[in-house]
Amino acid sequence: MKRHMMHPYTAYRPDARRHEEEREHPRHEGGFPENGAPQEQDAAANLADEADAVRDVVEPGVDAESAPQPEPQGEENEAVARCKAEMEELRLRTAAEMENFKKRLTREHQEQMRFAAEKVLGDLLPSLDNLDLALQYGSQHEACKDMLQGVAMTRKLLLDALDKNGLKALGEVGDEFNPEVHEAVGFEPNPDLAPGSVTRVMQRGYKLNDRLLRAAKVMINQ
């Protein structure tokens, strides 16, 4: 009996051995044709896969680290830097606005406290005018001399109390005329005073801190 000699490669390859057996005993019923074309195609595909595997071992693929990496996008980096700069600028602007807002509130509060008594002090001005008139006309009568001393002391105490709250009297004889605090009601010559100075105070003016409550009505020397 003649023994079939197998190729050395097929002795170690189960797929090739099965291929040789199928060539010797082809299937006719329910199988492939006698020429075994599908089996040959499968064997060829298996050989091609093995060749690829051997090639991968002999010639390994390119390392992932040595593979070309995509370069960073310059536009994206610039956009991120621009966004960070804008956020920092917005933060600084917001902090500056908040600081200015606090200063404005503090300033408004101080102004409100300084002029909180403006209405009350303004209502007291007619009383001060009456005291001034009493002193002016009472001094012409000798019988009112003792009473005028009490009126003068009362007026002084009242002005001292108002002065502590920022109220200042305006208008004195001999002052230089100032249109910002004086209101000229007429002219009156007085050789003892300089031209343009106040010769007589008709109604005293008052100022609360830096705010003028009422201008003084005066006569001006020609």
**106 assigned to some structural domain:** no
Low-confidence ranges of the chain (pLDDT < 70): 1-74
Specify the CATH number for the domain of residue 189: 2.30.22.10
* 47 and 130 both lie in a single domain: no
Give the pLDDT confidence score for residue 71 in this predicted structure.
55
Q: Looking at the domain assignment, is residue 189 inside a domain?
A: yes
Predicted confidence at residue 147, as pLDDT, reads 83
17 inside domain? yes
Asked if residue 86 belongs to a domain, the reply is no
Count of structural domains, the chain: 2
Provide the whole-model pTM.
0.50
Do the domain assignments include residue 85?
Answer: no
pLDDT at 144: 79
pLDDT of residue 205: 93
Taking each helix axis from N to C end, the angle separating 14-24 and 37-58, rounded to the nearest 10 degrees, works out to 160
Q: Are residues 203 and 129 in the same domain?
A: yes
Q: Please report whether residue 215 resides in a domain.
A: yes
| Residue 207 resides in a domain | yes
Q: How does strand 216-220 pair with strand 182-187?
A: parallel
HSE-up (13 A, CA, CB side) for residue 57: 5
Q: Is residue 183 part of a domain?
A: yes
| 216 and 122 belong to one structural domain | yes
Residue 59: φ, ψ to 5°: -120, 85
Please indicate, yes or no, whether residues 52 and 126 belong to a single structural domain of this protein. Answer: no
Q: What is the pLDDT of residue 199?
A: 92
Containing structural domain, residue 134: 118-220
Residues 188 and 220: beta-carbon distance below 8 Å:
yes
